[in-house]
Amino acid sequence: MKQSTREWIQKAELDFQGARALSLRRKVRFHDLVCFHCQQSAEKYLKARLEEAGCRIPRTHDLGDLLDHLLPLEPLWAALRPALDALSDYAVDFRYPGNAANARDAKTAIQNAKAARQEARLALGLKV
């Protein structure tokens, strides 16, 4: 595996583990951050797969766009589209006033990020 791919994976995993840890906090609710880090984790895992394949990595937070670049390599990942589309909104939506995530959003974000993580790690030959 390329060193640059490993770096993408490391960043993706930190976002995923951070989101999970934040989701367990009870005194202060971090739903916005959980959703944001779930989106970031999925984005970085998709970019890791592109990197490993030697593909150009687009400068985008749109997970559907990244998926479109990956489908020639991973056609079965089309099933991830609903999860990735839901996560894409979290790149910006909850980072600014006017929108706030709730417990359901955070739980769904974790599930969607977990699905993306699982597929990416399997494709990259890593333990899930």
pLDDT tens, residue by residue, 20-34: 999 999 888 999 999
Q: What is the DSSP letter of 44?
A: H
Rounded CA separation 5/121 (Å): 11
| Tokens representing residue 26 in the block | 């009870």
Tokens of 39: 């989106």
Residue 83 has pLDDT above 90, yes or no: yes
Query: Architecture of 3-123 per CATH?
Result: Up-down Bundle (1.20)
For 48-66, the pLDDT digits (tens) are: 999 999 999 999 999 999 9
Q: Compute the chain's Rg from CA coordinates.
A: 14
- Strand, helix or coil for residue 49: helix
Band (85; pLDDT cuts 50, 70, 90): very high
Q: Is the pLDDT of residue 93 over 90?
A: no
DSSP per-residue letters across 64-83: HHHHHHHTTT-GGGGGGHHH
What is the sign of the dihedral through the CA atoms of 27, 32, 35 and 36?
A: negative
Average pLDDT over residues 92-119: 94
Cα separation, 43 vs 81, in Å, equals: 13
pTM metric for this prediction: 0.96
Domain spans in the chain, listed from the N-terminal domain onward: 3-123
Determine contact, residues 49/73, Cβ cutoff 8 Å.
Answer: yes
